[in-house]
Structure 1
Amino acid sequence: MRRPVALRLQAALGTLALAAAAGVVLTMPEAAAAAGGATGYATQNGGTTGGAGGQTVRATTGTAIHEALCGRADSSTPITIEVEGTINHGNTSKVSGDSCNTAADRIELKQVSNITIVGVGNGAVFDQLGIHIRESSNIIIQNVTVRNVKKSGSPTSNGGDAIGMESDVRNVWVDHSTLEASGGESEGYDGLFDMKDNTQYVTLSYSVLRNSGRGGLIGSSESDTSNGYVTFHHNLYENIDSRAPLLRGGTAHMYNNHYVSLNKSGINSRAGAKAKVDNNYFEDSKDVLGTFYTDAAGFWQVSGNIFDNVTWSEPGGDNNPAGPDPQSNTTVSIPYSYGLDDASCVPSVVSGTAGANKGLKVSDGSCTPQSPDPTDPTDPDPTDPDPTDPTDPDPTDPPSGTNLSVGAGSDGSSKASGTSYGNVRDGDLGTYWSPAGTTGSISVKWSSATTVGKINIREAAGSEGTVGSYRVVNHDTGAVLASGSGAGVIGFSPVSLEKITFEITGASGTPKIAEFETYAG
């Protein structure tokens, strides 16, 4: 499970060289790609893991972000870029290299893949500087604030979009971020979250979009219908005039969002688009769902929503509101698993979880915000043990003693239909847990502190070798105990904890974990 010392030294030297060349600070231990793993449509099409398994660097300027991208071996080499401080026009320059294609007036993720950008420390603010994703795939953006990006006036950036995706983009997860403007088009702003020209498999989760004329769109025109498979969940849309979002063609899933002060219109499904709208809370708003400003009809399936002080205009011409009593006019099949909070508690759950610098809190699906996931990268602890420390016990030693998982509890980030968290501690190799996708995490927990120094991950028959990269995390503190690839016996310095997590960050298919055994050493 652990690389030889020579290889680890070589990797360390390579990492230091990258950091020196890029003007960034390497953080140890390596930060997680993202807390809990992607959700929604970003789990499909092979999943979204960002920079998992690659180097982690720290950047405090936009130029350093570009240099980190350009310092990789090639354009698909995984990397996690931890960002702290204010990124603006004054500290963002174009950088050239074989593994990048950057620009001076935006954070440019063009013709690249396998990247995580995550805010850490005291926070990351992209001030008047947008993030542009073009011809790229497997991107995670997490725990950042992007504000006041303009398309007119001065300075301008990214066509006025806070985050914009276009031209054959695949698998993007934006999570726990705050996207905000200070007005509408007349003040120089455009969309907060836009997708164009064949962008697919995107999730926006636990984020805040506010104070903008336009929330975002999927499709730049009635003929741009190649976009879709987008999930919006547990987001706050506040003081938005329209486009929450505008959907032209394609399929979108909106659940457990809180919409407040949608001033002109909200979810605008048109040009044959299909929107599945579940358990959202709409408040103090107008025309929150329908087909608006066109006669090219779109469709929706609704259930469990609450409409609190929502007004509806009269239908006619290019105006077709779904209310005042919204009814489904299509059905939408969702390919991934998800849990629904009751709409009545959505305002409180979203208030406690959505946006940057909220500690990456998520809902447990029963109206209760959870404390940060053990893979929370927002506060890396420099005292965490190095998971590749050569003084660690040899992980190839066979486990001995009592399997501490028997009689313990278990939970996880997600589970595929027909599988159970409890299957990993029942002693039966014929039952198993699988994530809802190719990545996810599974935990074993106790009611009191228990010393663990070795685990044994046993894959179900027929799935051996599916698990790729992994991390073993002390859920109590967030410390990374071990990392590597492949299932089997994993050893580390014994630690007293109440919950231990095995996080799968890469896999060749859908993992099937039959047993998650734990031992004292």
Structure 2
Amino acid sequence: MRHTHLWAVGATTATALVLTVTGPAATAGAAPDPARRTLPAGDGWASEGTGTTGGAAAVPSRVFTVTTWEELRAALAVPGTEPRIVKVKGTLNATAAGCSAFEAAGYDFERYLADYDPAVWGHDTEVSGPQEDLRAASASAQGKAIKAYVPANTTIIGVGGNAGITGGSLQIQGVDNVVIRNLTLESPLDCFPQWDPTDGATGAWNSEYDSMVVYGSTHVWIDHNTFTDGAHPDSSLPRYYGELYQQHDGELDIVRGADLVTASWNVFADHDKTLMIGNSDSAGATDRGKLRVTLHHNLFTNVVERAPRVRFGKVDVYNNHFVVPASGYAYSFGVGQESQLVAEKNAFTLPAGTGAGKILKKWKDAPVTTAGNHVNGRPVDLLAVHNAEFPGEILRADAGWTPVLRDRVDSPRAVPALVDHRAGAGRLR
């Protein structure tokens, strides 16, 4: 198969493109191109109905190989909804120029800290004024630069074992039929978090940008990716006003009427608020009957919470491995507004002193099905232990539906070894 290499002209624009053939045509007997892989039938909610093929049927002129963030955005901006494949080589850095490239004229972080110091501003009202306006303008500039919008009928796939994106946010918004595979996605670092003195008793820094957002889209397959905070874990971030200067949001959000999503064989690592399905209790008008998501054979390691947190959706979580951090752990499964979560045959590795009752968290009254799960190699009834450990947060049994779209189901005893060795970027088979 021929490949097209996409070159962006200029440091920050891609309005002029040069397309050149960089690879030979495919020959008989050649190994199948993983970029042409489609989601197997029966593999989670994304296989429902028309299934998910992404750009598998792309003609050679719509197959792009990109090596920079600007080239990626340009490839995705090529007009038309005919199938396209975008192959990522190496690591694309969306913020290579640094935070200063986004700063509005006159913004001064030291001035910001002085203006909104709780000793001066207090905790009763949200911040406002010139420096907050300039912070917001700077944040807007960063947002425009680091977001890449994925069209319908697209496959984005990493080439080899070291392909990925640093500091960028893939936006799968209002489209159908998308495949994202074999990328290491280092969480965007928000250069301009907002101080909210009214958030909790002592205020908090709030940030934007997820590594990937599925927003109002359908038939999305997210497979063999690694989501991580990379070089900037929360432990490396400073504190101001006595609070963590939080520069991370989520790793993956599936929100605003998104539907029919399968996330398989991914690694979600070293993060706080990791994976949210449904972003608001008041979004029933758009989310009710949607947010159908399957999570299987994923590794969640050293994540604090939201693995996932669920509202409204029928969410099937099976055959995942959860390696819980030794400190700071909040919960794995967040049971939220009108959710119907089924969690079966997962494996949990808990440190000493962490009870299995914490795996479930009740946010709102909603039924949940748990069956066949293992904790530290032994069968545990997650619902029973939660209700015994947290009698003030009793959860109801039976999510009210039975998943059938399961391509393979493994014994929970085999899950840790299987998932730990096969999930994540660079491990396509």
Normalising by structure 2, we get a TM-score of 0.68
Residue in structure 2 matching 1:303, options 371, 380, 383? 371
Pick from 214, 228, 233 the counterpart of residue 165 of structure 1: 214
AA aligned opposite 2:345: N
For the residue of structure 1 that corresponds to 2:160, the secondary structure is strand
- Compute the displacement of 1:27 (Å): 4.0
| Matched-pair contact (CA < 8 Å) for 2:38–2:56 | no
- Report the 3-state secondary structure (helix = DSSP H, G, I; strand = E; otherwise coil) of the residue aligned with 1:211: strand
Match of 1:230 among 279, 288, 293: 293
1:320/1:163 Cα in 2 relative to 1: closer, same or farther (>3 Å)?
A: farther
Gaps of 5+ in 2: 9-15, 27-32, 102-141, 194-206, 236-243
Unaligned runs of 5+ in 1: 1-7, 94-101, 323-327, 361-371, 373-521
Q: 1:59 to 1:297 in 2, by over 3 A?
A: same
Q: Say which of 298, 302, 313 aligns to 1:250.
A: 313
Is contact 1:27-1:57 (8 Å) kept? no
CA contact under 8 A between 2:331 and 2:361: conserved in structure 1? no
TM-superposed CA distance for 1:129, in Å, is 1.6
User: Structure 1 residue 205: deviation in Å?
Assistant: 0.5
In structure 2, the CA distance between the partners of 1:18 and 1:61, relative to structure 1 (3 Å rule), is: closer
Cross-structure match for 1:315: 390
Contact 1:128 1:150 in 2 (8 A): yes
Partner of 1:42: 46
Q: Relative to 1, partners in 2 of residues 1:261 and 1:68: Cα closer, same or farther, differing over 3 Å?
A: same
- SS of the residue aligned with 2:323? strand
Moved more, 132-141 or 304-313: 304-313
**Residue number in structure 2 paired with 1:109:** 149
Superposition map of 1:45-444 within 5 A: 45-54=49-58, 55-72=62-79, 74=80, 76-90=81-95, 104-109=144-149, 112-151=151-190, 153=192, 159-166=208-215, 168-181=216-229, 182-183=233-234, 186-225=245-284, 226=287, 227-261=290-324, 263-284=329-350, 287-292=357-362, 294=363, 296-308=364-376, 314-317=389-392, 319-320=393-394, 328-358=397-427, 360=428, 372=429
Q: What is the Cα deviation at residue 176 of structure 1?
A: 0.3
Give the structure with the higher percent helix: 2
Asked if the contact 1:24/1:60 (under 8 Å) is kept, the reply is: no
Q: How far off its partner does 1:66 sit?
A: 1.6
Q: Report the TM-score when normalising by structure 1.
A: 0.57
Q: Quote the offset at 1:63 in angstroms.
A: 1.1
The Cα shift of 1:273 comes to 0.6
Instruction: Pick closer, same or farther for the CA change 1:248–1:24 going to 2, 3 Å.
Output: farther
Do the aligned partners of residues 63 and 19 (structure 1) sit closer, same or farther apart at CA in structure 2, a change above 3 Å counting? closer
C-alpha distance in 1 between matches for 2:313 and 2:143? 30
Aligned counterparts of 2:57 and 2:314: Cα–Cα separation in 1: 31
Q: Which amino acid aligns with 1:53?
A: A
2:341 partner amino acid: A
Higher mean C-alpha deviation, range 332-341 or range 80-89: 332-341
Identity %: 25
Deviations along 1:101-155, one digit per CA (max 9) or x if unpaired, are x974224225x2001110003521211222122112211110001113234548x
- Note if contact 1:23-1:67 (Cα within 8 Å) is conserved in structure 2: no
Is 1:33 equivalent to 2:35 in the alignment?
A: yes
Q: Paired residue for 1:504?
A: none
Q: CA deviation at 1:28?
A: 4.2
Q: CA deviation at 1:289?
A: 4.1
Cα distance in 2, alignment partners of residues 197 and 191 from structure 1 = 15
SS of equivalent residue, structure 1 residue 351: helix
Q: What do the CA deviations read for 1:430-456 (whole angstroms, capped 9, x no partner)?
A: xxxxxxxxxxxxxxxxxxxxxxxxxxx
Could you tell me how far apart the structure 2 residues matched to 1:333 and 1:297 are? 20
**2:224, 2:265 within 8 Å by CA — same for their partners in 1?**
yes
Change (3 A) 1:348 1:66: same
Number of aligned residues? 329
Contact 1:162–1:192 (CA under 8 A) maintained in structure 2: yes
